[in-house]
Amino acid sequence: MERIAIFASGTGSNAKKIIEYFKAHPNIEVRLVVANKPDAPVLAMAKQQGVKTLLLDRPGFYQSEGALEALAEAQITFIVLAGFLWLVPPYLVNAYPNRIVNIHPALLPKFGGKGMYGMHVHRAVKETGETNTGITIHLVNEAYDEGDTLFQVRCPVTAADTPEQIAAKVRQLEHVHFAPVIEKYINALNS
């Protein structure tokens, strides 16, 4: 049985889709939602879904291995970053080699790196005149958005699209593809 912890910083729309996708799965369950903001809506959503939550603070996350202890206590075997804005520390990357995935709202390596998240990405896509964008699902290493790519899918960007319209197109791709790609990757790991 794979037991997933979803790390998120915001509303948790991707986290909700992932929880729902694996609700009745025979081999994969979402056991924990981890957030780094006490007022993050993802925490309330997780509780509504019956998933336990964990709140991280920056000093505890970076200056101790308390997060690792909490994950071990919950018997977590796999981590999904779904809009989690902090860089994952080396101790966590090392404890879960090839078992942490992230979703990025652009076609990496374009528009990746520190500070490139959410609307910052969609504005940059618009400002540079890109004709397409999309999502990248990738493994996590010790640098922002540099882990091996597992999956990419693109969508068109028109000259008339606003950053908000681009965000909506990308969010739709995230909601359709993230959970199935996680499932496929976990199945491949375990085959």
Active-site annotation, residues:
104
Closest CA to 96 of 76, 82, 73: 76
Element (H, E) at 91: helix 90-95
The gap between the terminal CA atoms of the chain, to the nearest Å, is 13
Q: Which residue type, as a one-letter code, is found at position 140? A: V
What Cα–Cα distance (Å) separates residue 103 from each residue in 69, 81, 96, 112, 127? Answer: 25, 7, 17, 11, 22
Site of tokens 């076609």 = 107
Please enumerate in sequence order all residues whose Cβ is within 8 A of that of 77, keeping only pairs 6 or more positions apart, or say none.
1, 2, 3, 4, 99
- State the pairing for strand pair 52-55/28-35: parallel
77 close to 2: Cβ distance less than 8 angstroms: yes
